[in-house]
Each structure stands twice: as structure tokens, then as C-alpha cells.
Structure 1
Amino acid sequence: MHEDPDRLRYPVERTANGWKEISWPDALDKVAKGIQTVQKQYGQNALGIYLGNPNVHNMGGMLTIKHLLSSLKTRSRFSATSVDQLPHHIVSMHLFGHMLRIPVPDVNRTQYMLIIGGNPLASNGSIMTAPNMRQKLKDIKARNGKVVVIDPRRTETADIASEHHFIRPATDVLLLLAMLNEIYLQGYAKKAQINNRAVALAPEIERLADFAKDYSAESVADITGITAIEIKRLVKEFCEAQSSVCYGRMGVSVQEFGLLSQYLIMVIDIVTGRLDEIGGLMFPNPALDVVNNSGPGYLGKRHSRVSKLPDFNGDYPVVAMSDEMLVAGEGQLKGFISVAGNPVLSTPNGEKLDKAFAQLDFMVAIDYFVNETSRHANIVLPPVSPLERDHYDVTFNNFAVHNVAKYSKALFNKNKNDKHDWQIYLELAKRLDKKVSVATKVERLLTKTLGPKFLLDQGLRRGPYAGMTLKKLKKNPHGLDLGPLKTMLPEALKYKDKQIHLNIDFYQADLVRVQAMMQDYDDSQILLIGRRHVRSNNSWLHNSYRLVKGKPRCTLMLHPETAAQYGIEDGQDVKVTSRVGSVVIAAEVTDELMPGVVSIPHGFGHGRKGVKQKIAQAHAGVSVNDLTDDTLIDQLSGNAAVNGVPVQLEAIELEDINLEAADLDISDLDTTNSDAEPSSAA
């Protein structure tokens, strides 16, 4: 990325004659003026902002983004959270009192790891910061432990697991309810062990015995695709293991029952005594304590203007974004800022969002590239590359499976005229918001002068490890080992009463939807799921030839039975259609997928006009989010449901392609190669 010739080195402005480089002062002045014009004409909330996933991988960005957000004074905020890990935050907020107090699997010491809808070999751990997951999973097996994967696809992780079970997409909630029911039926609920840590949990935890009583293993077997015998065996093995942990990730979160499913995973770990236990689900203790330096979070203080979806901690769900731009009325979005994100490719119904961005009055992107989203911007502001900035893992140490602290100095010095993300934020804040408190002025001046590392040092000094400073980390360039995860209850709980709050009523109300799903379930539907590849890192690395060369990875995976049902052969083009759109993609027939399920990877679709990434465009693929549905959501949280999308398949016959070629005017063909057959030229 650092050497990429397509990476922007200077601000660019979109003109009638294409993109034009402009100076930083000119660019920042124009951006500030554009924002102010929109807000003055239409109101403060007529400006929207989207924060993409790369923000949380950026030390300077994480420590200073508040200055940009506060200066904009808009409530129209969106982020990648609501197409990803939102259920984790809500569950942790409800149970433990803070949205970032998320326990993680103690993979280094567990004897039994149940992975539902997660593929840590591709993600390297997700909401579970764990280097070399392949070895960690092998180590579990080497110490006579067991790794069990439940997934509609036999993933890279499933390939090295002890066993793998297919499950119909978006039916995880039924499996988890049946497992919870079996835990009580088989007598494995360890109430006393929990009560030692959170004394007043007893009245609520008794209610959990009835939470799933209507969901027997037999009643869910046909829909989930996992037999009652297997469900009962999994529960028995999980509960009788010396230590065990249940972990669910993207496949669980981004479906119609994502929040309830993540809640049930947490409850299963709690009632079996696996929470805050060695080898179970444990709380990290990072050197920079983000929990004690941020608010606990909230759900549903406000609702989006058009779709009436709840906000979480000030962010509206991304599925509401396009309607907020397209539907006229007071509060309609007329301006937009995209910060380190590409929502046209990464959020549901990308075609609709693409059209929405195109009709804005003003848009700015803070990004390295002119991509599928930033091509709509009036001005693109490019920060320095990742190799030109210092790094400390502000976010992901909070999910580490072993406590560490490490500071990495920038590999290269930036050029004098280039700007860090945090410098862009401060420059815009200075232009947009001049009436700030003295304390804010001082903080901005110190940050501008010293850089965000001074904020990091302040945070380290206030953290849980005595004597921890930035100076100490600099003296230890390979990092400091702060030890394995330790028991932290009840001190880790952020509620004043130091107790776990199960919020049973909130989650039990969603069982009405579950019952409706069971009654109306149509097992004849073809369901679409996503997938990721470690060489893609979402869509970040598609402009690197070294990482996109070789066998195409943007394919439609489907089971041989499904392929035979629709007359599809391996390598054949297939038209895939959902409620919102269709794509044409080559088939990859494989028994990795269970019958009735198809998979398209996330992050492709670089064929749109105006994208300035040559290699990515040459390996464009299709966007799975041209098929995902912005009306298909987890109603409890507002999170996008991009897994379990109903689709139709249609094989594109070779004869159809030849007929289209036959309609070509022969004068359009290049016949200079006399060795080429006419059909080859066509």
C-alpha cells in the first residue's frame, strides 16, 4: 500500500475535467466551507458521517477522532459497527455494564473450544486478538482437547478442527436455545459457582432455566440441520470438559437473530461456569484501559428519521444510511463525510447507496484511494500511509487473549507537506468549531504540538499497571508481556452494584420472532452467506498484484447437489438474484458448502466507473453487497443481516453467450491476428 502508484499523495478535487491536485490549505478550506454551506442551508443533521473499520486500527485516529465528531455537531453518524460486531457491544453493555467489557476465549489454556460462525484462520481472531491462531488451535488438540466448528461452510478453521457440523444459515439461535435447554435438562447449570462471583445474580439466573424450555433438541434438528443426538452430545462434551468456551463471531452477529444469538452464547458460558474461569471466557486487562476512559454505551436514545431504527452510542445502523439521503423531508442528508471506509462495497444494497451518494450536494472522503465510495466525493483528503505513523493497539489489546503492550515507531518519516489522520481532524475542527472550552483548546494545542503519543502516555500512566509509561514501552521495542488472562470478577463489572445484569425481559421478548421464524421456515430457499480471505483483509489489499494473483477468489461456492439442481457446472457463469439486485459470477462447485447454501466473498466489486485502482479493477469480481438487503436486519439491534439472504440461481448457458457474440458487427473485431479463429476473437 505504501508503494502503490495509485495511492493518493495529495488532496484531490473532482472537476468537470477529472481529478485535480490541490494544496492542503486550499483543500481543508474548501471542505470546511462545503460542510458549513450544507449545514447552514439544511440544518446540522443534514450532514452525515461514516467511520470505516480501518479507524480502529489507527492509534492517532482513535485518540483524536472525537475532535472532528464534536466539531461537526451532527447526530447523523454511522459506522462499520452495525455491519459487524454490534451485538457483542450491546450484550456486554447489558450484562457487564460497558460496551467494551467484552470477554474473550482463553484459547491458550482451554480444553474444548466451540466456534460458531467464526473463521479465525482467515480473520486471525476477531473480537479475539490472537496471533497464530492455527498453532493455538493445534495446541488445543495436542493437549488432548477438542475444537468444534459449527458453520454452513467447511472453512479453513473447520479443516483443522476436531470436528465440523454444517448448520443452515441464520438458524444458530435455535441451536443455542436447544443447547441452553439441554444444559438444564442434563443438570449442568452451575448456579453456585456463578453466585460466588456475582452474589445477587441468583433471582435472575433461576429464570434462565425457563428461557429456552420450549426448544428441545428434537424440535430444532430439522431446521438447523444438526441432529438431536449431536446437539445433546455437544452439550455433554462441552459441560464435562475440564475447561471449555463457546465463541461466536461474524456468522452469528450479522443475521436476523444476531443479538439474541450472541446473548445466548454468553449465557451458555455463564450458566456452565465458564465465565471468568481459566480456559473459559475471560476479561483482558489492557495497559491502556479504554473501558475506564470511555462511556458505557446506550441503545435507542434516538431513532433514524426514515426507518426508525435505534442508534447505538450515537451511531445509526448503516442499513438506514441510503434512505436518509434519498427520502426527502426535514433532516434529509445533503452532505457526507466518509472516513476510512468504503460502504458502497461493505454495507447492504450497495447499488442503492451508490445512487444515494451520487445525488448529494457535497461529499468529502478521508482516504488513500479513489475507490467505489470516495469517487463520489468533491474532495478526497489522503492521510499518510500506515508505515509513516507510530502505532499502539488502542482497540485490539482490549480483546487480547494474552495481556501485552507494544509501541511501534513509524518505519518511515512522512514528507513535510503530508498529513496524519489526526492532523486532518484537528485542522478541520479548528475551521469548523472555534467556540470551544479552554480545556479543549489546550488539548488540541498539545496534540498538535506533541502528537497523539502524549495522549497515549497519559492513558498508560492512568492504567492498571504501575510504572507503565510510553518511555518504558520505547525501551522495550518488542513489547512487554503482561501475563495471561486472570479472573477479574466482580471488579471488572462496571455496574455500581458489581453484579451481572442479565436483562432477561429484553431478550425474551425476541422469542416471539423466533417462534414466527420456526413456523414459517422455508427450507427450499437458497441462502447466501459471505466469506473472507486473509489475503484480502476485507477489500484493503485488492490493489496489490502479489495478493490478488493466482486462482480467482471471487467465486460463487455451491454444493454439487445444489449445482446439479440448477444445471450449473464448475466454472460456469451464474446469475444470482436477490430482492435488491443481481450479479453474474463464476461457479465454484465444492462440498465445502452444505446443500442449499451459496457463498460469495466480501470486498470485491471494483468494476464501477471512476475507480482509480488499476489492479483491483483488473480483478474486479462482484460485490456481495449488491445482493444483501438493507431491509433484512436484526430488529432487536438494527444490525445488518448479510448472512442468510434468500437468492435465486440461474445458470447462464454457453449458447446464450455465443448468441450475444453473434450480434456483434464483424468490423468491431480485431482481426489482425490471422491465427485467431473467429470464435476466439468473439
Structure 2
Amino acid sequence: MTQTYYRTCTLCEAMCGLKFEVNGDVIESIRGDKEDPFSRGHLCAKGPELKNLHEDKDRLKKPIKRTADGWVQVTWEEALTDIAKRLFEIQSKYGFDSVAIYSGNPTVHNYGSMLMGQRFANRLKSKNKFSATSVDQLPHQLLSYLMFGHQLLVPIPDIDRTNFFLILGGNPFASNGSLMSVPDVKKRLKDIQERGGKYVVVDPRRTETANHADEHLFIRPNTDVFFLLAFIHVLYRDGLVKPSDLYSIKESESLRSLSSQFPPEKVSGVTGIPAETIERVATEFAKTEGAVCYGRVGVSTQTFGSLCQWLINSINILTGNMDSVGGAMFTLPAVDMIDPKSAMRSSPGSFDTFRSRVRGLPEFSDELPVSVLAEEIVTEGEGRIRALVTSAGNPVLSTPNGSGLEKALEDLEFMVSVDIYLNETTKYANYILPPTSSLEHDHYDLVFNVFAVRNVARYSKPIFDPEEGALHDWEIFSDLTKRIELLRTGKPLPKELIRTKLSPESIIEHALKTGPYGSKGGSETGMSLELLKNSDHGVDLGPLKPCFPERLCTQDKKIRLFPEEIRKETDRLSDKFEEMRSLSGDRLKFLLIGRRHLRNNNSWMHNMPKLMTGKNRCTLLIHPDDASSLGLSDSEEVLVKSRVSSVSIPVEISDEMMRGIVSMPHGFGHGKKGIGLEVANRFAGVSLNDLTDDRAIDEFSGNAAFSGTPVSIHKI
């Protein structure tokens, strides 16, 4: 008999509602949930592939161990006992920091894994904690911490009410929104135009989003910081700044002084954007009621990624569009991780309280930048990483100089991966521990409700029972935590206590009741887990509302417009500007940028057959004039060289690229020996991150600087 289930899609940040038709253990169909108040029936090509992800024959279901004769299946008891023992022994021999942990992107789509994985990481007592945060979003959270007092107080574009949307380095048509959870973003952007507004895209490539924009401005990679400073220069010069009691006049004067050094006519040659265009866009933006500036991966992953996010926030503040309808606003989720009185409060953050051992890069929120992971493994000395735990990650493909990291993994004494696949990273593990499928456990979006363009809440029940003996992610981490604690204390632990009694569901239940919409939080909404379980389509909690100064987490309830911590970083701008000016006419070198595709999510959807159909997506996009100067024809294989490595890739000639700039998609590079991904191996491609440089970083934060990698291109 066919049954209907409603769930949230967990494959990207958009949180689309899905309707499942299931007959026994067979998924007959997956469609958009038209009654979901947030996604309104929308779904992209990825949503229906939850069926193939669940049924994928390459998905691991039992623990496996690497031996001299290959991989063998082992029991959970054998695996967990040996893993705890090995981790304990390594830390006993080398110290706590000898064991590192890396959490991949899918972790934040799994609240149980987040909660218990964090507990496990904390109990390891190691400073060597890494995650995908420092791949592409660290500047967002760092500047939220420095300016607003909390790393999760991230400004969200009020896309449903804005009249001018300025997008830098973001491609929501392909990403479905990033640090901006927004289902059906195409319709929402079109709605801006239909109500008389506009949206403008600033990007080195005419992206899918830019194709439908009112205006697209080509910009040279790594120069966004100068465009933004020139934009602010115009605001101050032309009296377009709106004073506010929320920031100090002294800090505003410091920003005015800095921006005065970069007028539009000075930065035009470096950025590639005419001075009159910068002036016009800045003026139109400032004079529009309800405007918002938003920058995503393209601006975060460059030399001045942190300064870019600071200046984007500053533009919204100076024009009166921060915490304002139609501008950049802040969520009030049902599970509030910002309120210090919340049962689920998270750390406001920390910065530079310690540094990495080898290169001396700063921590943020108790994590080190992933760009230092390889060197921390291979460099001898006290504190050297000798063991690694990965969770739902594939850093060999997703972090800079991936081939360098791959070589480093061979140097580990021990590695364990909590993952459903034998991929380019987990192949180096001694054990792979596969958790249940996403359809075999419940779901609540702990993180993406913090970044949503509207306050909503939705709980998803499991569709299928796990196979006998299978463990959820959170059970794996909870079990390992208890076993390691037992080895450390030497006290016996009753078998019945090996599994924690405090489940993620019970934690969420308490957080909902005591949250801003819960009865114990004083709200008439009566939010509770029971309410959500009885609300198949989720609960709409309304549009974003102004919340400053009450929600500010700074001591004085003021915005830190010019944080003291970034002053030294601004001192580097003049020298960098002169360097960029000298390079802007160099036609011998190209700058390499990445690109997204709607049918991918980084590297982890490449084993889905329906998502990999169509023409080859792993190509080098190049402008026709550049191709002509090199004597290249379409589809011709070329050799692309960077400081760290080289790859061979077919050319795709397109005028969507700015001259001098080339583009490759990220997440490819499959087909290596020993990888258990049949479909991905057929569409192997090459890895962008075999070219990106782990030495290229946003120096202030340590975030990877992928955007604008210098490369040379050679005929084969």
C-alpha cells in the first residue's frame, strides 16, 4: 500500500519541502510539497535523487576495515573497540593534538551528527579541529563575530521585500542560495524585477544568475575589495551615508579615511569596472528604499575575503539597510542558538586565541584553517597530527592543493572516516563507519533556519527503519566518546550505558519549547516538537523583523563598524593595489576561478546517474579572444599549470568569461584507483583543487583563497 511522507530536502541550503510516495521499501515518487509555506512546491533536480542516494549500491552499510589484502567487513563492536583503542594510544603517546578531526559540508545537514560530533570533537581535547567552514564561509562568520558579537548573527538578504539586490561572487541560480536559504530563488529574483526593482551581479563570469540580471559587471578576481572601497568612497563623497546611533562616529571617520584612498577613477583599471559605472551603481543603491548588498563564495575565497565581507556589511550599514526591511536582516529561528538564555545557545565565537603549529594561522571558533591540515600532518615535531577522523567529508577534492593533502594522508599512522562512501579521501582510512541513510533518521534544520530568508520550522520523521544493527551518525560519535572516556578513566562502563540516553531529538524538543516561539519561552505560538510532528508541511513563523539593538551581542549593544582587529589588515591594501595594477596587463598568465552547477553539490552528488547526464561539465571555460591567441579550438585538451600542479582538461570557448580569466568546476577528480563510486568514476573529470594553492589564503582569517589562482595554459 502506498503511503505519503513529507520531508525537508537535505541536499542543499534551500530546505525545500518534499512529498514522498512510498510503497513498502520502494520510493515511487518524490515531488515538491505545494503546501510547504517556505518552498511552495518548488524543487530542483537534486531533490528526486534522494531515492537513488538511498538505494545507491555503492553506499556502505556495514563497517569496513582496510587490510593488506583489501577491505573486509567487520562488526560494529570490533570496529568501535579498535578505533577507540588506537585513538587513545596515539594521544597517550604523542599528546591530545596528535589526533585531528575534519567535518565536511553534509555534517551541517544532519543535526544529530552536528550535536554529537561536536561533543566527540570537544572530548578529543585536540586543537587540530578542521571543517569546510574555512573552505568558503569563514569570513562571513568572523565578521559577524567582530561586528555584531556573534558568529551566527549573519546578515540575510530580505529578498522578498528588497528593491535593489547587489550580488558579488554569488550564483544563487546554481547554488539555490548560500548563507541565504531561499527555495525557488529564480522566482524570487524575478519578483524583484516585476515589482519595479532590479538586481545587479558583479562576477568575472556571466553566470546563470547574471544572465537574468538587470545588469552584469565583469570584475577581475581578487579586486572586489577595491570595488567595495570605491563604492563606499562615493557614499561619503556624495553625502549618501545615513547616520545611525548604532555605530560610533569615530569608526565611521576611520572608514571614510580608508575609502578616500580608493576613488572610482583609481580602482577602475584594476577592477575592470569603469569609474562612472561604480559611481552610478553606488548612487542608485544608496537612493533606493530597501536595498541589500550580498557577497558569497567568490568574494570570501580571495586574498582579502574578510575585508570584502566587512565592507559589504558596511555598505548595508552606511546606507541604512542593515536590520531594515528590504535590506540585510537577521533571523529569529525556533531553535535559537544566539540568545545567551537559549537551551541551544552556541559559542559567540573566538578568534586568534591560538595558532597553528607550523604556519601560525589563527583559530576561529576553536577551529584551524583547513589549508594547514597537510603541513600539520607531514611536519615533524611536537603536536604533529598522527591520526585523523573525518566526518562526511572529501577534503582531497574539496580543499586547496588536494593532491598535496592526499600525499599527506599516506603519512598518517591511523585514520577513521564516518562516511557512506569509499571515496578519494576515505580510501586512506583504516576504518570506514557508514551511518544510516538520511531517510532512515529524523531531520531538523538546525543551521539553515539561522540563514533563511523567512522564519520557518519543520521536523521530518524517518521514512524507513534502519537495517538491523545499523547506527546513526550521532550514535557512532556518542559510542566512541564513551569508549575513549572509559580508556582514559579506567572505570568500567555497563554495556547498557554505551549508547547515550540523551538523544538529539530530546535536545531539540527541549530547545523548541524554551525557544522564542515555545510556551516556556513565553510565546503564544506554542512551538514544540509535538506541534511540528503534527504539521506535515512545517510552520510559518513570519518574515524577518528588525531586531537591533536588542539582538546585538556586543557588550555595549553597538555595531563595531571598524573593528580594531582588522586595522593591520587594511595596511596591506595599498601595496596589494600596486601589485594588482602591475599585473592587470599581463597576458601571459591567466586567473582561474571555480564555478557551481545546479545538478551538483560540491563533490558529493556525482554518483547519482540522473544528475550526471548531458554534456561534459568538467571543462575549462575561456574567452574566445584568449582561445584565439593561444590557437585553441573548442573541446581541445590543454594542460593547465599552477604553482602546485598541472591537469589536462578540455576547453570550452565562451564569451561568458572575462578576458584573462578561466573557469573550472570544483568537486571533480574521480576515477582514482580504489574508489568505490561507479557513476562518479565514469564522469571523473579533473580536480580544480589539484591546481589551487594551500599557501594562498585570506591572511587575516586563514580562509582558503581559491578565487584567482594564477595559471598558465599550454597546447598538448
- Normalised-by-shorter TM-score class: over 0.9
Gap change, CA 1:328 and 1:281, over 3 Å in 2: same
What does residue 580 of structure 1 align with? 644
**Secondary structure, aligned partner of 2:572:** helix
- 1:460 partnered with 2:512: yes
**What's the CA shift for 1:40?**
1.8
Counterpart residue number, 2:102: 50
* Partners of 1:63 and 1:455 within 8 A in 2: no
Paired residues of 1:348 and 1:630 also in contact (CA < 8 A): yes
Deviation at 1:69, TM superposition (A): 1.2
Q: Which amino acid aligns with 2:281?
A: L
User: How far off its partner does 1:498 sit?
Assistant: 1.3
Q: CA separation of 1:436/1:142 partners in 2, compared to 1, >3 Å: closer, same or farther?
A: farther
Q: Structure 1 residue 532 and structure 2 residue 596: aligned?
A: yes
Q: Does 1:557 align with 2:621?
A: yes
Q: State the alpha-carbon separation in 2 of the partners of residues 449 and 42 from structure 1.
A: 33
Q: Distance in 1 between matches of 2:351 and 2:389?
A: 24
> 2:242 corresponds to which residue?
190
Distance 1:485 1:650 in 2: 51
Give the distance between the partners of 2:369 and 2:452, measured in 1 at CA. 27
Kindly provide the CA deviation profile for residues 171-225 of structure 1, in whole angstroms up to 9, marking residues without a partner as x: 000000000001111110001xx21xx2x63332233222211101000001100
* Equivalence map 1:135-534=2 (5 Å): 135-191=187-243, 194-195=244-245, 198=246, 201-292=248-339, 293-434=345-486, 448-449=500-501, 451-465=503-517, 466=523, 467-521=526-580, 522-523=583-584, 524=586, 525-534=589-598
CA displacement at 1:436 relative to structure 2: 10
Q: What SS is found at the alignment partner of 1:337?
A: strand
Structure 1 residues 556-591: Cα deviation after superposition (integer angstroms, max 9, x where no partner): 001001111211111000100000000000000001
The amino acid across from 1:267 in the alignment is S
How far does the alpha carbon of each residue in 1:516-569 deviate from its partner, in whole angstroms, 9 at most, with x for none?
122122121310000111211111110111111210101000100111121111
Equivalent residue, structure 2, for 1:669 = none
CA separation of 1:450 and 1:517: change in aligned 2, threshold 3 A: closer
TM-score by length of 2: 0.88
Secondary structure of the equivalent of 1:553?
coil
Partner of 2:43: none
d(CA) in 2 for partners of 1:66 and 1:301? 19
1:84-123 correspondence to structure 2 within 5 Å: 84-123=136-175
- Contact conserved, 2:174 with 2:597, CA < 8 A, in 1? yes
- Judging changes above 3 Å, is the alpha-carbon distance between structure 1 residues 453 and 445 closer, same or farther for their aligned structure 2 residues? farther
Farther off after superposition, 445-454 or 231-240: 445-454
Give the aligned length. Answer: 643
Q: Which runs of 5+ in 2 are unaligned?
A: 1-52, 340-344, 518-522
Q: What's the offset of the Cα at 1:71?
A: 2.5
Structure 1 unmatched runs, 5+: 653-682
Shift of 1:63: 2.2
Q: 1:241 to 1:518 in 2, by over 3 A?
A: same
- Aligned-partner Cα distance in 2 for 1:372–1:550: 24
Q: Secondary structure at the match of 1:427?
A: helix
Task: Indicate the structure with greater helix content.
Answer: 1
| Residue number among 660, 671, 677 corresponding to 1:607 in the alignment | 671
Amino acid in structure 2 at the alignment position of 1:201: S
Residue type of the alignment partner of 2:282: V
The Cα of 1:254 is off from its aligned counterpart by 0.5
- Structure 1 counterpart of 2:129, which letter? R
Corresponding letter in the other structure for 1:232: E
Offset at 1:445?
A: 6.5
SS in 2 for 1:412: coil
Once the two structures are TM-superposed, the CA of residue 501 in structure 1 deviates from its matched residue by 1.7
Contact 1:529 1:644 in 2 (8 A): yes
Contact 2:147–2:561 under 8 Å retained in 1: yes
Paired residue for 2:116? Answer: 64
Comparing 312-321 and 33-42, the one that deviates more: 33-42
**Would the aligned equivalents of 1:94 and 1:502 in 2 still touch at CA under 8 Å?**
no
Could you list the structure 1 runs, at least 4 aligned residues long, displaced by more than 4 angstroms after superposition.
444-447
Q: 1:400 to 1:573 in 2, by over 3 A?
A: same
Shift of 1:143: 0.4
Q: How far apart are the structure 1 equivalents of 2:267 and 2:432?
A: 51
Query: How far apart, CA to CA, are the structure 1 residues paired with 2:429 and 2:311?
Result: 42
Q: Percent identity, aligned pairs only?
A: 48
Cα distance in 1 for residues equivalent to 2:499 and 2:195: 49
- Is the CA contact 1:248–1:262 (under 8 Å) kept in the aligned structure 2? yes
Q: Give 1:511 deviation, angstroms.
A: 2.6
Distance 1:203 1:172 in 2: 25
Contact 2:693 2:706 in 1 (8 A): yes
Distance 1:507 1:67 in 2: 32
CA deviation after TM superposition for structure 1 residue 371, in Å: 0.3
| Structure 2: distance between partners of 1:72 and 1:498 | 35
CA-CA distance at 1:450 after TM superposition = 6.0
Indicate the SS of the match to 1:509. helix
How far does the alpha carbon of each residue in 1:573-629 deviate from its partner, in whole angstroms, 9 at most, with x for none? 010000000000000000111010010101000022211101111110000000000
Bigger mean CA offset, 518-527 vs 496-505: 496-505
TM-score (normalizing by structure 1):
0.92
Q: Quick check: 1:557–1:587 contact (8 Å CA) kept in 2? A: yes
**179, 185, 188: which one pairs with 1:133?**
185
State the alpha-carbon separation in 2 of the partners of residues 66 and 620 from structure 1.
Answer: 33
**Helix, strand or coil: the match of 2:532?**
helix
RMSD after superposition: 1.6
In structure 1, give the amino acid aligned to 2:315: I
Separation (CA, whole Å) in 1 of partners of 2:322 and 2:334: 22
Residue 650 of structure 1 corresponds to 714
Q: What whole-Å deviation, never above 9, does each CA across 1:130-163 have from its counterpart, x for those lacking one?
A: 1100000000000010010000011111011111
1:27 and 1:429 map into 2 onto residues whose CA distance is 14
Residue 493 of structure 1 and its aligned partner are, at CA, apart by 0.3
**Distance between the aligned counterparts of 2:479 and 2:98, measured in 1?**
22
8 Å CA contact 1:94–1:503 kept in 2: the answer is no
CA distances 1:436-491 after superposition (whole Å, capped 9, x unpaired): 99xxx99x969834631110011111211122110111111101110001110101
- Between 207-216 and 306-315, the greater mean CA deviation after superposition: 207-216
- Aligned partners of 2:241 and 2:357: how far apart in 1? 44
Q: Which amino acid aligns with 2:706?
A: V
Instruction: Tell me the amino acid that sits aligned with residue 217 of structure 2.
Output: H
Tell me if the contact between 1:59 and 1:390 (Cα under 8 Å) persists in the aligned partners.
no
- Alpha-carbon distance between aligned partners in 2 of 1:228 and 1:48, rounded to the nearest angstrom: 48
Distance, in Å, in 1 between the alignment partners of 2:91 and 2:220 is 47
Whole-angstrom distance in 2 between the partners of 1:168 and 1:558: 14
Aligned to 1:665: none
Structure 2 SS opposite 1:316: coil
Measured in 2, the distance between the counterparts of 1:447 and 1:85 equals: 34
